[in-house]
Amino acid sequence: MVQAKTGDTVKVHYEGLLGDGSIFDSSVGGEPFEFVIGQEMVIPGFENAVVGMSVGETRSVAIPPEEGFGDYREDLQVTLERTQLPTNIDPKLGMRLEVRFQEGDVGYFIVTELTEDDVPLDGNHPLAGQEIVLKIELLEIL
């Protein structure tokens, strides 16, 4: 039986679950998710789980933070003064902001709090530091 390997384009259905069993993302009931193994289109734990699977096989794997959305990093929490924001931005709690650094890099930050003078931001992925579980069904190897 053919098994998925690095370089293969695959179609899967998946469910991503948090530690409490709640689903944070899913392709079930919708279009299958297609990606190329090894092109870093998904988190490493997802790619690693699909490698070696055969069409029709299902697998449930626990993904630790280092193979998922990374460890939570305190250094990705920053506070900007409201005067540092462009005048066309009216920050709201939970708003996602794109920040361009002097080096040319781009980062994405979530507004975590609002004060009269400051806007605290968090650049961590919302699932950083969490172990997740992926339920995967390999539908097709293209």
124: closest CA among 104, 110, 113? 110
Q: What is the pLDDT of residue 1?
A: 86
Number of residues written out for the chain: 142
Query: Does 1 reside within a domain?
Result: no
64 lies in the same domain as 18:
yes
| CA–CA separation, 104 and 37 (whole Å) | 29
86 lies in the same domain as 64:
no
**CATH code of the domain covering residue 21:** 3.10.50.40
Interior angle at CA 105, CA 99 and CA 111, nearest 5: 20
Query: What is the chain's mean pLDDT, rounded?
Result: 95
Q: pLDDT tens, 24-65?
A: 999 999 999 999 999 999 999 999 999 999 999 999 999 999
- Domain of residue 86: give its range: 74-122
Contacts of 119 (CB under 8 A, 6+ apart): 79, 80, 81, 82, 85, 91, 111, 113
For the chain, how many structural domains are there in total? 2
